[in-house]
């Protein structure tokens, strides 16, 4: 059960082309976001689609695969873990971000 403590699985579409960063250490980082959609019918009988956006980062070989094959609009399945961090923006305000650190990627669709 320890493997289930912090595990996220999402299927969605990329909202933008991945941002690829090659670090001085030789590591590769891919940053992108995906949209997941959930549909339901409200009390008036109308179909409602709720879209959630998720920040995703990937490292190493996974990032290199993303750089070569994944572009805006592509449907992907990802697996990873949630992480939260904070940083100070250019105005000195503390900002918080939660993102999925992707460990597995599966390209879906065409």
CATH of the domain at 47: 2.40.50.140
Strands 8-14 and 19-22: unpaired
For residue 2, is it within any domain?
no
pTM of the model: 0.84
Strands 94-107 and 47-59: parallel
Q: Is the dihedral of CA 97, 34, 53, 10 positive or negative?
A: negative
For residue 1, is it within any domain?
no
- Domain count for the chain, please give it: 1
CA distance linking residue 30 with residue 75, whole number of Å:
16
For residue 3, is it within any domain?
no
pLDDT in tens, 2-57: 667 899 999 999 999 999 999 999 999 999 999 999 999 999 999 999 999 999 99
Which phi and psi (to 5°) does residue 18 adopt?
-60, 145
- Domain span at 81: 8-107
CA distance linking residue 34 with residue 74, whole number of Å:
9
């Amino acid at each position: 059960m320890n493997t289930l403590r912090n595990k996220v699985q999402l299927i969605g579409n990329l909202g933008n082309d991945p941002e690829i960063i090659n670090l001085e250490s030789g590591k590769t980082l891919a940053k992108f976001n995906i949209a997941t959609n959930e549909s339901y019918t409200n009390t008036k009988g109308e179909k409602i689609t709720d879209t959630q956006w998720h920040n995703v980062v990937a490292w190493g070989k996974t990032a290199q695969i993303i750089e070569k094959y994944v572009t805006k609009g592509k449907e992907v399945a990802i697996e990873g873990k949630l992480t939260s961090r904070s940083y100070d923006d250019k105005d000195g305000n503390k900002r918080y971000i939660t993102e999925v650190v992707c460990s597995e990627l599966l390209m879906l669709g065409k």
